[in-house]
Amino acid sequence: MALVTPLTAEHDLETKELAEFFNETLGFCPNSVLTMQRRPEISKAFINLNKAVMANGGRVTSALKRMIAWVSSNTSGCRYCQAHAIRAAERYGAKQEQLDNIWEYRTNAAFSDAERAALDFSLAASMVPNAVDAKIKKELYTYWNEGEIVEMLGVISLFGYLNRWNDSMGTSLEEDAIDSGNTFLGKHGFEVGKHDGSKY
């Protein structure tokens, strides 16, 4: 059982309107947002930040942003966010070979060197202690400009918040997200774990 029970989508109509954004990204409103709306200022601020972070202002595609989110969430160990990120990557046009081989992004031919630099940045920035160093910076600047690096770190930081929120909350994973997690991550041992609302 989740630490705090999600409220219905009708609880706060301003949140509901803003949350239509997630119908595009995921196909449903996440239980995390339905829980945040117990304090509507948090849910509304979160959705607006999410929209700003995921807007494309350069060459960092929507699909790559969701793969960055997946690497960050995998590093943090949040199954809820792993499933959401891989689902959103699929919905935003990530190549099938990338979705199937996200665990091997460093060596798989489906990923470009620019994408590897972005995903290595996500991995290093999501570690505790933080592992961003001169080598990561050099690789980033080989392929990306400063605005694009800010976009990437926006995604990583947003998912730092989400990883802590959802793992601490034990947010129940939605069925569609479970299906995506099983499809693309199951061969690597993906489990719903604490995010199975029927068990906790």
Shortest CA distance to 174 belongs to which of 29, 38, 11?
29
pLDDT at position 18 is: 94
How many residues can be counted in the chain? 200
pLDDT at position 134 is: 98
pLDDT at position 200 is: 46
Burial of residue 188, with CB atoms counted within 10 A of its CB: 0-12 exposed, 13-18 middle, 19 or more buried? exposed
pLDDT at position 122 is: 98
pLDDT at position 199 is: 54
Burial of residue 126, with CB atoms counted within 10 A of its CB: 0-12 exposed, 13-18 middle, 19 or more buried? buried
Q: Which residues in the chain come in under a pLDDT of 50?
A: 200
Q: Give the predicted TM-score (pTM) of the model.
A: 0.94
pLDDT, tens only, 1-53: 689 999 999 999 999 999 999 999 999 999 999 999 999 999 999 999 999 99
Distances (CA, A) of 100 to 96, 143, 181, 186: 6, 24, 11, 10
139/142 Cα distance (integer angstroms): 5
Task: Report residue 56 CA to chain centroid gap.
Answer: 16
141/111 Cα distance (integer angstroms): 18
Domain spanning 57-194, CATH architecture:
Up-down Bundle (1.20)
Are 170 and 195 spatial neighbours (Cβ–Cβ below 8 Å)?
A: yes
71/185 Cα distance (integer angstroms): 12
